[in-house]
Amino acid sequence: MSSSSSSALKEEKEDEAVKGGELLFCGATCWDMIGRKKGIDGNLVSPTRLRPLIGVDIRYVVSGCASCHCVALDVEGRCYTWGRNDKGQLGHGDTIQRDRPTVVSGLSKYKILKAGSGRSHTVVVTDDGNSLAFGWNKHGQLGVGSVRNEIESSPVRCLVSEVTYTTCGGDFTVWLSSVEGSSILTAGLPQYGQLGHGTDNEYNSKDSSVRLVYEAQPRPRAIASLAGETIVKVACGTNHTVAVDKNGYVYTWGYGGYGRLGHREQKDEWAPRRVDVFQNRNVLPPDAIISAGSVNSACTAAGGQLYMWGKLKNNGDDWMYPKPLMDLSGWNLRCMDSGGMHHFVGADSSCISWGQAQNGELGYGPMGQKSSAVPKKVDILEGMHVMSVACGTAHSMVIVDRTNVADQLEQLDVYDGKAIGEANEPAAKTPVPKQPAKKGAKGADNSKKRKNAKDSSDEDEEEDEDTEESDNTDEDQVNGKAGVKRAGRGRGRASASKNSSSGRGRGRGRTPASPPVKSSGKRGRPRKSS
């Protein structure tokens, strides 16, 4: 991408931030059931307008790959939240779910410019460089210096200053600051080294010598190994972090499974490690885009080429280091975000999505496919200028420029949502009459099965003790459960003599996937409009 086109894109983004646009939503709306039950109802399978935000100029929208709630900011600096609220992550002073975007009254005296969304917490940045947070604080992810209050349902002040940006992982938070020598700070759960301080803060609990826990870090702390660098961009997956410095070098750290860190191995990294692909002539340009999903990472490099790495498909080999995604070569990418296993991109006058989806989060419509292994246009948005995108757990959001597309917007569906406190009533079930047992038939002896089931249940309860509620089984498998683990199960610790000072974590072996079967058909790619 030339310097002239780069400066033009920068001016375009600044203009978009001033005027805002229309927010569209697709995906699951049954917030309390996402990840907890399959086949949920109420999915919006096409990009849909939200009644409370029609005509509101939205300039910034965010969710997170582990989030079941959404945050939107308008041009006046008002903050709207909606979705799951079991830990007070919406900031309304309660734990009542909101189906409709609702202004956070506790932030009314501030002008909010940026926001981040974790699994069960939210962090915002004000125009004067302060940061406030609300939601779950068990691991210190709110950055208030204490875990005394496990839930903060109203905004509280974070212990950071001169903040320019924030983003959240599953249970941790990252801030960028203009303070020299402290350009990046982190707080929260250190389990996989995602805080970047060279340790996972693991120790034996007092009640058992074999039970390992992770000490929360509630006070935001600058990453020492990056003190000499100025970090200008950052993105978080569930348990890993991707950052870019002012020179265009890319750093990753945290959970290393499936190659999501891009270092050709699956080791956890407890401190920032430079990704060797993006060096020399392939450093990232100033207008580069970065993104982190639950199990993968992405960025645009020289010429606007999109690179991805990590777990990109349910079957097939993982990408252990950054590789160009040739399906999007030649497109002018303006924005990108990644959810659990799906991605959204705004490019030229198109909106493109792909990945694994079950709840309509790709926006292909009622007659379209649910998932797509390759990038595919969202047809109903063709010709619209996409200003920003955001992906969460089973949902996606898009901000489009209203200029010259009023008629197209009028044709889109409108979602009203339920009022506060209005319960999601389950469909009435018709009782099934019990069939009488046949005479002479001997009942099956299920005592052994019941005993095995009980033993298994007891083991599960023991394993999950003191851990947070698991909302998504697939995510637990690929990201690990947070907060607690037992010694002697599965993963081995690297010896103290090797890489002791490098911030290197433990290795995770994985049986290599069998090579994918090649199909005879040609691989598709979205075509540009003529």
* CATH assignment at residue 41: 2.130.10.30
pLDDT, tens digit, 9 for 90 and up, residues 386-399: 999 999 999 999 99
DSSP letter for 504, please: B
Residue 448 is predicted with a pLDDT of: 44
Q: Does residue 208 sit within a domain?
A: yes
Residue in 75, 73, 71 with CA at minimum distance from that of residue 19: 75
Residue 65 near residue 311 (C-beta atoms within 8 A): no
Residue 439 is predicted with a pLDDT of: 43
For residue 37, what pLDDT band results from cuts at 50, 70 and 90? confident
Report the C-alpha gap between 503 and 149 in whole angstroms.
31
Q: Does residue 157 sit within a domain?
A: yes
Range of the domain at 369: 3-415
Q: Does residue 443 sit within a domain?
A: no
First vs last Cα of the chain: how many Å apart? 21
C-alpha distance from residue 508 to each of 127, 255, 463, 495, 505 (Å): 42, 10, 20, 14, 10
Q: Does residue 426 sit within a domain?
A: no
Residue 266 is predicted with a pLDDT of: 97
Say which amino acid occupies 73: L
Residue 201 near residue 29 (C-beta atoms within 8 A): no
| Overall domain count for the chain | 1
High-pLDDT (> 90) share of the chain, %: 69
Residue 456 is predicted with a pLDDT of: 42
- Choose between 328 and 446: higher pLDDT: 328
Report the C-alpha gap between 189 and 280 in whole angstroms.
34
Residues counted in the chain:
530
Average pLDDT over residues 240-249: 98
Q: What are the helix (H) ranges across 364-471? A: 406-410, 447-464
Does the pLDDT of residue 438 top 80, yes or no? no
High-pLDDT (> 70) share of the chain, %: 75
Does the pLDDT of residue 337 top 90, yes or no? yes
Q: Is 169 helix (H, G, I), strand (E, B) or coil?
A: coil
Residue 43 near residue 27 (C-beta atoms within 8 A): yes
Q: Does residue 425 sit within a domain?
A: no
Residue in 277, 289, 405, 370 with CA at minimum distance from that of residue 337: 289
Report the C-alpha gap between 127 and 48 in whole angstroms.
30
3-state secondary structure 442-502: CCCCCHHHHHHHHHHHHHHHHHHCCCCCCCCHHHHHHHCCCCEEECCCCCCCCCCCCCCCC
DSSP letter for 201, please: -
Using alpha carbons only, give the angle 70, 72, 74 rounded to the nearest 5 degrees: 170
Average pLDDT over residues 27-43: 89
User: Residues near 49 by Cβ (< 8 Å), separated by ≥ 6?
Assistant: 22, 23, 24, 25, 409, 412, 413, 414, 415
Indicate the average pLDDT of the chain. Answer: 85
Token pair 């348990």 is found at 239
